Amino acid sequence: MDPTTLFSYERHVDSRALRGRTLLVTLGAYSDAGDAQRLVDDQLLNTLESRVVGRLDMDQVYDYAGHRPEVTLQLDHFTEYAKPEILLHEVTALDGDTFFLLTGPEPSFQWERVANALRIVVEQLGIERTLLLQGFPAPVPHTRELPVTRFAGDPESIAVRRTMPGTFRLRAPFTALLTMRLAEGGHEVVGLTVHVPQYLHEMSYPDAAIALLGAITEERGPQVPLEALEAQAAPVREAVAAQIDAQPQLQEMVDGLENRFDRMITSGAGAEVPTADAIAAEVQEYLASFEEDTGDAGGSEEPPRRRIPRTQRPRASERPASAQRDLLPVLSRGSPGSTTAVTWMPVRVTFPARVVMKAVSAASCPVAIRTIEARGARCVASNTRQVPSISASTTRWKSIGVSPGA
C-alpha cells in the first residue's frame, strides 16, 4: 500500500518551505512512565512558538475500539470528544532554529507503512537527526540523577555513550521499528529513555522530563527552556521526600536502591552487572513484605490481613485515615499555570510494569471486545480479548491472550 497517502500537510502549509535539522518523536509506547512524554510535549508547545504542519490519517492506523477515546456526556448531549491525533509540529527553539516534534499515540496498525511514511517526511524536511523520547519504570532511586540510556540505528550516532547494561529480548514498540527503518534509509536516529523510579512511575514526575530535555541537548538537539518544569518539580520533590521520610519501610527500600545505584556507577566496566531477572527477584522479594502482617513488638492480637484483589480495593479517598499510611502523593494532570491538586495512590512497584485488567461481565460485554484500565487522566490499553466461556455457566467469561507489558 502506498505510504504517501498516510501523511498529509495542513492546507495552509507550503511543505516546500519547511526545513529543520532535528525531529523529536514522543509517540506512545508501553506506558508513559512519570508522564515524561506528556510533560515534554507541554513544555515545548506551551513555552516555544509552534504550529501544526501535518498529520497522519488515524482512521487507517488507529484502533479506536481497543483505545477508546474519552467523551463527556453533559446531561443530554456529548461534548469534548478527545480525538486521537498524530501531529507534526514545527517549533522554533530559543536560538531561532526550527525543529519538528511528532506527538500522539502509538499506531495500532500498518507499522511498516507508517514507518515508510515518516521516512519520506524526514527526507522531505531535510531532517539530519531524529531523537526518540520515552520513559521507562526502573529500579532507580529518586534521590539520584535519573539515568537516560541511549539506543540507535547506528551506535556511532550516539554522542554520549550511556547504554543499557546488557542484552534484553522484549516486545517491540513502534519506535523500535521506526529506529530500524530510518537507519536502513541512511538517517541518524537516536533513542533516549529516562529511567523513572518504579515507585513513582504512575505519577506526574517533572524530573523525568527535565532529564529527557537535558539529554536532547547532549545529543546535539535543540535547546529548550526548563524554568517552568523546574517550578513544577520542586513541590513534587518535597512531597515525595516528606512521605518517604515518614515511612521506615520506604526509607529502607530507597536506601537499598541508592546502594545498588552507587555500586553500579563506581564499579567500573569490568564489574559484574546484575541481570534483569536478578533485580526483579530482589525487588519483588522485598516488596512482598509490604503485604505481610508482621505485627508489632508488643505481640499485637490483630489478625493477619487478607490480600484483596486490586479490582476490589476501595479508592484511596474512600479509605479511613488510619489505612493511608502506605500512600504517596500523585500530582493531578492540570494545565500549565493551573492550581495543583493532590490525590493519592497506593505505593506499588512492578518489574516489569504490568497492566491489571478490570472484571468484565457478560451483560456489559456481549461481543468480543478489548478492555482498558483508567490511570488518572489517561488510559492504558490491552489487547486481551474477552470471549464467552464454554463451561456450564453461560454468565462466566474468560480471557485469552496476553496483555502488553506482561
Domain end, chosen from 176, 205, 229, is at 229
Helix (H) or strand (E) holding 111: helix 111-125
Give residue 265's pLDDT band: very low, low, confident or very high (50, 70, 90).
confident
pLDDT at 387: 41
The pLDDT, as a whole number, for residue 162 is 85
Residue 324 has pLDDT above 50, yes or no: no
Domain end point (choices 183, 204, 229): 229
- 15: its cell numbers: 511543505
C-alpha cell recorded at residue 156: 556511532
Q: Say which residue the cell 475500539 belongs to.
A: 65
Position 259 in a domain: no
Tell me if the pTM is above 0.85. no
48-211-269-283 Cα dihedral, nearest 10 degrees? -150
Taking residues 383-405, what's their average pLDDT? 39
Per-residue pLDDT at 161:
86
Cα separation, 296 vs 302, in Å, equals 9
Number of domains into which the chain is organized: 2
Considering 175, 201, 229, which residue would you say is the last residue of a domain? Answer: 229
The answer on pLDDT for 274 being more than 90 is no
Residue the block writes with cell 480471557 = 399
Regarding whether 221 and 80 lie in a shared domain, the answer is: yes
Which of 82-96, 146-160, 321-335 has the least mean pLDDT? 321-335
Q: How many angstroms separate the CA atoms of 247 and 281, rounded?
A: 23
- Confidence at 2, pLDDT banded by 50, 70, 90: confident
Place of cell 466461556: 389
- Tell whether 34 is covered by a domain: yes
Which letter does DSSP use for residue 44 in this model? H
When pLDDT is averaged across residues 275-296 and rounded to a whole number, the result is 60
Residue numbers of the domain that contains 126: 3-229
- Please give the share of the chain, as a percent, with pLDDT higher than 90: 52
Find out whether 129 and 22 touch, Cβ atoms under 8 Å: yes
User: Are residues 147 and 9 part of one domain?
Assistant: yes
Question: What's the pLDDT tens digit per position in 13-31?
Answer: 999 999 999 999 999 987 8
Eight-state DSSP code of residue 220: T
DSSP β-bridge partners for residue 195: 136
116 occurs within a structural domain: yes
Q: Are residues 362 and 221 in the same domain?
A: no
Q: What pLDDT sits at residue 288?
A: 67
Could you give the angle at which helices 227-245 and 206-218 cross, rounded to 10 degrees? 130
- Residue 133: CATH number of its domain: 3.40.50.10900
Q: For residue 111, what pLDDT is reported?
A: 95
Q: What are phi and psi of 256, to 5 degrees?
A: -65, -40
- Is the preceding omega at residue 107 within 30 degrees of 0, hence cis? no
Mean pLDDT (the chain, rounded): 75
Is 335 among the domain residues?
A: no
In 3D, which of 92, 34, 136 has the Cα closest to residue 225? 92
Is 311 inside a domain boundary? no
Residues 179, 36 share a domain? yes
- The answer to whether residue 10 sits within a structural domain is yes
Tens of pLDDT, residue by residue over 166-188, are 788 888 999 999 999 999 999 99
Q: How many CB atoms lie within 10 A of CB 139?
A: 21
Q: Which three cell numbers stand for residue 373?
A: 484500565
Task: Confirm whether 245 is domain-assigned.
Answer: no
pLDDT number for residue 262 = 86
Lowest-confidence pick of 110-119, 294-303, 323-332: 323-332
**Exposed/middle/buried for residue 225 (C-beta within 10 Å: 0-12, 13-18, 19+):** middle
Is residue 344 domain-resident? no
